[in-house]
Every structure is written in C-alpha cells, then in structure tokens.
Structure 1
Amino acid sequence: MNGKSRLGEFLRTRRSQLSPDEAEVPTYGERRRVPGLRREELALLAGVSASYYARLEQGHSMNASPEVLDAIARALRLDESERLHLLDLARSAKPRGRGRRPAPERVTEATGQLLDTLADVPAIVVGRRSDVLAWNRLGHAVFAGHLDPGAPDLPSQRPNMARLVFLDAHTRELYAHWPSKARAVVGNLRMVAGQYPEDSALHALVGELSAKSEEFATMWADHRVKACSVADYEMRHPLVGTLTVTQQTLNLGPGPNIVVATTKAGSPSRTTLALLAQATAEVTAPATRVAPATPATAPSRPETHVSDS
C-alpha cells in the first residue's frame, strides 16, 4: 500500500468511526445507510470544500497544508498522537525521490551503561519495530523469562515484543487484560509505520502478524494510533504470581528506547517484584553488551520467537 492509499484509508476509517452525535452534527432524525460522518459533513466541520476533501481521501490531492490537516484533525476529534500520525501520512503521500533505508539499530555504549544502572528495575531496550536489542536480568525475568537470556545478542534470534504479544502463549497469559496490551502494541506500530513509510522490514512484520493473527488484523484495520509512553498493566507472572506494573518508555532521542516496569512504593506488587529479583538472582544474567551495528531486521521467526512493548 502506497502513501496515498494509507492516507486515504486512515481518513475514511476515522470518519466512519465518528458518529454525528459525537461530532455534534444534526441529523434531523433521518435514517443513515453508513456509519459515521459523510464526506460533506466532515468537510464542513473542517472548513474545506466537499470536493477537495473527497480528492484528499481518494489520493488525488497531495498538497494539503499543515493548517488544513490540523483542521481535519480537529474535525475528526484526533488526539495529539493521531494528529501527528496524520501529518506523517500526508508527508509520505507526497511524490519524492527514492527514500533512504532506515539506519541499522544498535545499543550504544551510553544506553548499555544506563541499562546496567537500572539493575534493580526491569528494563529492556527496544527498536522501532519492537525488536528487543538488550535487557537486564530483571527485564528478561519479567517480560520473557521463558526465552534464552542471550537471545537479544543474536540478530537471528532477537525477540520481537509485537510477535510475543500476539503469537506467544506465555506472553498472552502474562497480561491479565491482554486486549489492552495488544491494542497498545498495534497503536504504536501504526504510529511508527507512519514515521518510517519506507521501512520494508516493518511492513513485512505487519504482514506476518496480520496473516498469523486474526486479532492483530482486526486491530490494525481499526487505524488506532497510540504512543506507548506510560500504561499500567496487571501481570500474572508464572514464578511469583500477580503484580501491577507501570510500563514507561524512556525516549532516548533518535534510535532505540528503554522500556522500564516500575511498582508503587510499599505496594504488594513492589514486594512481589523483589521476590522475583531474589528468585532469579542466582541465575547467570546476560552481560549488557554493546553489539556492533547490525540490521534491526531479523528473519521471520516461528510463532514462539518475538520483539517490543
């Protein structure tokens, strides 16, 4: 699917999800054959002509100004992440020269030092496609204790958190409210796909997950966009039982991010996490190595192999 198609599909899907009542558009009791707003209604709300908006949805007008796109975003009731995603899609839809391949992802020395410093906090380093590039001992124990601790060091075996969430039974059971976690993963991938429209490996990952998981395909078609910044999750850990963690993504600028899982001070979850740390303390933890620059794309793995949060 090219940039024009992605932009048009996003606009059509979000328009169909916005009811006249939500948009405060009077219907005068008429029966409507389609859900959501009509094109002309959305155009009126955005302050553009119906014909112009129709051309934009159909991919025939690729020169919408930021001001027009912001007006459409307001009419569609988009939040900030969704608005930025709309701008990304509009940029990718414009004709341009051959795009450059995204730079290979690697764990820098500084990031490795930070991961070591967070020894008492579950932490993993994830790439834009949710590949796990590194983790500390507790990060491995909390998120993927059933996998080889050294897996992130081998590009061919590197876990991928999106695959884990949708294709790995252990990870599905780990989240008490799995649909919430699954929607966050899909929403984040949607956002990244808009930022990196030329990333063929990312599109291959989406294709693989769509083919192997009907739930992923359904959520992907919903076009929801969500930045995985902060979220609370109840986790059912096979070693220590239930605990509630706050998963936060620490944005390190261009390049991989660190995802950490914290618990409230004095809470039962803090005690449970301490028990997990004790239970895994004698297990040899993988050293946090700074790997040389390697392609962030690992070959397609069986359903039990994965990568991100």
Structure 2
Amino acid sequence: MDRCTELSEFLRSRRARLRPEDVGLTPFGGRRRVPGLRREELAQVAGVSVAYYTRLEQGRGQNVSDAVLDAIAGALRLTEAERSHLVKLARPAARSGRGAARPQRVRPAVRNLLDTMDNVPAYVLGRRMDILAWNPLAAALLGDFAAVPAARRNMAWMIFLDPASRELYAEWDRKAADIVALLRTHAGSYPDDPALASLIGELSMKSEEFRRLWAAHDVRDKCYGVKKFHHPVVGGLTLNCETLLLPQDPDQSVVTYHAEPGSPSAESLRLLASWSLDAAGERREAARERQ
C-alpha cells in the first residue's frame, strides 16, 4: 500500500466526520463544498499553519514531531487506536514489511494453555488476522479450522467470503466492521507486507461490503464485548469476548469467549462442549474402522 495515499485518505476521512461546532468553531454561512472540517479549520484548532497541515495531509510532511501529531490527533478527536495509526502512517520507518515476513509460530506453552480451557472457546490470532491455533471448543463454535486450507484460515477471509459466517454471527454487520478496522490496524503496522496486500486485494475484488468498509478508514485495537451467535447445533448464544495480548509477540493474541455463569448461553456452551467431545470420539472411531 502507498503510505502517502493512506495517510492522506485517513486524515481526510477523520476531518469529514467532524463539524465546526464539534471543535468549538462557529460555522461560516453558505454551502460547504465538502463534508466536515476544512483544512484551515483543522489547522486553526490544532495550532499549526494551514500550509504545514496541507503538506502533512498530502504525505509530504517530514520529521513530524510528537507535539504536532498530538495536536492534530486532539483536534480530530482521535481515539488511542486512531492516534497510533496516525503515528505509524506519518513515521513509517519505525516498522517495515520485512518483519511481517517472519513465520508466525505459536509457543508450545500457549498451545497447552488453549487445551486447558475446556469450557472456553479460544484461538490465537496472528498478523493479517490469521488463525494460528485453537482449542476444540473454538472449532465447535466457529467452524472446523482444521478442515480449512491454511491459506484460507484467516478471520477476515472467512467473515467476508465464507457464506456460513453470515448465518453464524447474529450481528454480522458489526462483526464485519470490527474485522476491517482491525485489518486496517495491521496494514498501518506493515504497509509493505505482500501477503497482507494480497489478502486485501482479494477481499476488495470479491466483496462489495469489504470495499465499502475499507474505504471508511476506521481503525480499532483488539476487540472485546458481547458477541451473539446463531449456532446450527445449540441455537442462540450470547458470549463475552476478550482479547489477551501475548507479551512475547505483540502480533499474536488469544481470543476467548465465555458465557455469564448460570445463563442459558452457559448451558448451551456446556452442551456444545459435550457435543464436540462426542463428535471427536465418533471421528476417532471411524478412523480406526478404516484402518
């Protein structure tokens, strides 16, 4: 991806969502040609010259200081995730696509941790939203990852290009927006990663929803919150999602789902775990009979 273009489009998209009155300015009369703040209005609130801000938005800013980025982030009302994204785009030398070429390996201790979480669906998410490891209950809830080709074992690919995801996620639109915002964050960290560029290109060609969400330039950190499912075996589930960063590898995180104790979803999750064990036993028995 072209960093200058990404920086320009990101800043423009953040300006477009604000009105003069949102930042304490009195709007001028007459029709505005573009939505949101004008460049000169944003520069006024940030306390920088219009010429300087214009150069930055056009990707021509050099050696941008922390103070200037903080001022612009404050004027645009950026979230912490958006501010971090702005810094990555304005200062690309900090990280490069070379790091993204390293193979992603899950430590054995992390795999063992997943296996001990008998009643909690959990999986490891890596760069580009790749699914690197999972426990049996995660496969029972979200789908048999082992049956998916490694190249397609990616959360973004599955959400937008696997029709089953639209049935599984009760709030698919919300899930899709979260996934694109997270993918944007990865793109800001590794703008030169060819595998990431290939994934984004494929999704853009094959999914109109992805193209629309990608054009919004929203970014987000790791997700948490309540997720709702329509599972083909146990029906409706309302689960709490938590994302745990792995300290030795900032590009990997453990995503977990759990139900409120005593809730109908907790009972459904227990039934799903039992069903998963029974299904695994049947597969092992079938394999023995084929030998």
The answer to whether 1:55 aligns with 2:55 is: yes
Structure 2 counterpart of 1:282, one-letter code: D
Contact 1:240–1:272 (Cα < 8 Å) also in 2: yes
Per the alignment, residue 110 of structure 2 pairs with 111
Inter-partner Cα distance in structure 2 for 1:101 and 1:50: 36
Distance 1:167 1:96 in 2: 30
- Identical residues among aligned pairs (%): 49
Which structure features the higher share of helix residues? 2
Corresponding residue for 1:67?
Answer: 67
CA distance in 2, matches of 1:31, 1:165: 40
Q: CA deviation at 1:112?
A: 0.9
Unaligned runs of 5+ residues in structure 2 are 284-291
Q: How does 1:90-109 map to 2 (within 5 A)?
A: 90-92=90-92, 99-109=98-108
Who is 2:17 aligned against?
A: 17
Shift of 1:99: 4.5
Q: Is the 8 A contact 2:119 2:269 kept in 1?
A: no
Aligned to 1:240, which of 234, 243, 265?
234
Using the alignment, how far apart are the partners of 1:259 and 1:95 within structure 2? 27
1:208 and 1:115 mapped to 2: Cα distance?
A: 31
Please give the alpha-carbon distance, in whole angstroms, between the structure 2 residues aligned to 1:282 and 1:99: 44
Whole-Å Cα distance in 2 between the matches of residues 164 and 270 of structure 1?
26
SS of equivalent to 1:25:
coil
Give me the whole-angstrom Cα distance separating, in 2, the residues matched to 1:17 and 1:59.
Answer: 20
- Offset at 1:23? 2.3
Distance 1:114 1:14, change over 3 A: same
**Partner residue of 2:289?**
none
Q: State which of 157, 162, 170 in structure 2 corresponds to 1:168.
A: 162
- Distance across 2 between alignment mates of 1:97 and 1:187: 20
| Structure 1 unaligned spans of 5+ | 287-309
One-letter identity of the residue aligned with 1:131: D
1:253-292 Cα deviation digits (max 9, x unpaired): 2142111111111111111111111122112289xxxxxx
Select which of 268, 275, 286 maps to 1:272: 268
How far is 1:95 from its partner?
10
The 3-state SS of whatever aligns with 1:242 is strand
Matched, 1:84 2:80: no
8 Å Cα contact 1:185/1:228 also seen in 2:
no
Task: Tell me, in whole angstroms, the C-alpha distance in 2 between the residues paired with 1:272 and 1:116.
Answer: 20
Rounded Cα–Cα distance in structure 2 between residues aligned with 1:95 and 1:243: 42
Indicate conservation of the 8 Å contact 1:106/1:256, yes or no: no
What TM-score does the superposition give when structure 1 sets the normalisation length? Answer: 0.85
Letter in 2 for 1:62: Q
The one-letter code of the counterpart of 2:70 is D
User: Which letter does structure 1 place at the counterpart of 2:138?
Assistant: G
Contact 2:239 2:265 in 1 (8 A): yes
Per the alignment, residue 121 of structure 1 pairs with: 120
Matched residue of 2:242: which SS? Answer: strand
Taking a change above 3 Å as real, the CA distance of residues 193 and 77 of structure 1, as seen in their structure-2 partners, is: same
Structure 2: distance between partners of 1:97 and 1:14: 25
Alignment correspondent of 1:35: 35
Taking the aligned partners of 2:229 and 2:136, their CA distance within structure 1 comes to 18
SS, match of residue 283 in structure 1: helix
Q: 1:73 to 1:134 in 2, by over 3 A?
A: same
The letter of the residue matching 1:135 is W
- What are the within-5 Å matches in structure 2 for residues 113-152 of structure 1? 113-144=112-143, 147=144, 149-151=145-147
Counterpart position of 1:227? 221
| CA RMSD across the alignment | 2.2
Counterpart secondary structure, 1:26: coil
In structure 1, the partner of 2:258 is 262
C-alpha distance in 1, partners of 2:111/2:209? 35
Contact 1:3 1:197 in 2 (8 A): yes
| Equivalent residues in 2 for 1:183-194, closer than 5 Å | 183-194=177-188
Kindly provide the amino acid, as one letter, of the partner of residue 12 in structure 1: R
